[in-house]
Amino acid sequence: MVMAVKLVRSQATQRILLLAGYEGGVTAAFMLAEEHSNTGIETAQLVYLSQPHSQPILSLDASPDGDLYYTSSADAVIAKHRIPELPHNPGGVDNSSDVSTSKPTPSLFAKKNMNQDKPGTSAPSGLSSLLASSAPLPKFRPAPPVQPLVTPQPPCRTVDTKHAGQQSLRVRSDGRLFVTGGWDSRIRIYNIKTLKEVAVLKWHKEGVYSTAFAEILTPEEAGHISKAVNKRQMERDEQTRLKHWVAAGAKDGKVSLWEIF
């Protein structure tokens, strides 16, 4: 059973990837086709497969550049995965022929005795006779491209957090931190490179099931504030826009908002 999915675009190749986490602790990355046709349902190409968890995967998220992604599970493990290098242009299928390759029997190519034909008749001969007498060759659709075999690979890094049931893993837009919500009612912040826990936020009384980061903005991205607002209010609004916020929702029905580094 699929437990979590994520669509991400690789900044290096501009290819779209589908990341999936499964009940068996397996995670996979699929590359979507560059060109889409209206002939029917298309299949994606499996490019990465790993099983870093012993329990169902609860959540996953990708880095802003789409080269790495992270999984959390009902076990205490958090795993970091590196997506293999992707091609810019996938190999196509040779559609130069859409007919079968069965060959006519050699007797059809035997030399005919032209003297056997009656003079003045318009009976076909040579290649015309061959084409007239042979049955039409059946047509068939080309077979789908053979998918390359992908063997399971170990993740590039794992950490045993000693805290089972971390979910709603979210990566911050600057690619420095990620957050998880725990069954133990804790909100945990991790360094995205080392997977080291850097902060634990305690307030909820029951399990945390959802988390979200605010997008990190530069002063230029914070937007223009109306000149009618006084200077102090402008400064407050700008500071609010530039703060690093994280929100969490729990089973207790409450949502908490935190300012972090």
Residue 132 lies in a domain: no
Residue 159 lies in a domain: yes
Give the number of domains in the chain: 1
- Residue 103 tokens read as 């060959």
Distance CA 184, CA 204 (A): 9
Choice among 138-147, 184-193, 204-213, 235-244 with the minimum mean pLDDT: 138-147
Q: Say what the pLDDT of residue 93 is.
A: 38
State the average pLDDT over residues 172-199: 96
**End-to-end Cα, the chain, rounded Å:** 37
Residue 91 lies in a domain: no
User: What is the percentage of the chain residues whose pLDDT exceeds 70?
Assistant: 65
Residue 115 lies in a domain: no
Residue 178 lies in a domain: yes
Residue 190 lies in a domain: yes
Burial class (CB in 10 A: 0-12, 13-18, 19+), 44: middle
For 248, the domain range is 2-35+42-86+148-260
Q: Say what the pLDDT of residue 252 is.
A: 94
Burial class (CB in 10 A: 0-12, 13-18, 19+), 107: exposed
pLDDT digits (tens, 9 = 90+) for 131-154: 555 556 556 565 555 566 889 999
Amino acid identity, residue 188? Answer: R
- Residue 196 tokens read as 């080291």
Alpha carbon 246 to chain centroid distance? Answer: 25
- Residue 86 clears pLDDT 90, i.e. is over it: no
Q: Say what the pLDDT of residue 173 is.
A: 92
Alpha carbon 62 to chain centroid distance? Answer: 9
- Residue 261 clears pLDDT 50, i.e. is over it: yes
DSSP 3-state helix, strand, coil percentages of the chain (rounded to 5)? 10, 35, 55
Query: Given its phi and psi angles, is residue 217 left (phi above 0), alpha (psi -120 to 50 degrees) or beta?
Result: beta
Choice among 40-49, 198-207, 247-256 with the minimum mean pLDDT: 40-49
* Beta carbons within 10 angstroms of residue 77's beta carbon: 22
Q: Say what the pLDDT of residue 146 is.
A: 59
Amino acid identity, residue 248? Answer: A
- Confidence bin at 76 (pLDDT 50/70/90): very high
Q: Say what the pLDDT of residue 142 is.
A: 58
Q: What is the DSSP string of 172-209?
A: -TTSSEEEEEETTSEEEEEETTT--EEEEEE--SS-EE
Residue 239 lies in a domain: yes
State the average pLDDT over residues 59-84: 96
Note whether 53 and 25 are within 8 A (CB).
yes
pLDDT digits (tens, 9 = 90+) for 216-246: 766 665 554 444 456 666 666 655 666 789 9
Can you give the CATH number for the domain in which 202 is found?
2.130.10.10
Please name the residues in contact with 54: beta carbons below 8 A apart, sequence gap of 6 or more: 25, 73, 75, 77
Distance CA 210, CA 169 (A): 8
Q: Say what the pLDDT of residue 242 is.
A: 61
Residue 93 lies in a domain: no
Q: Say what the pLDDT of residue 256 is.
A: 97
pLDDT digits (tens, 9 = 90+) for 3-27: 999 999 998 888 999 999 999 999 9
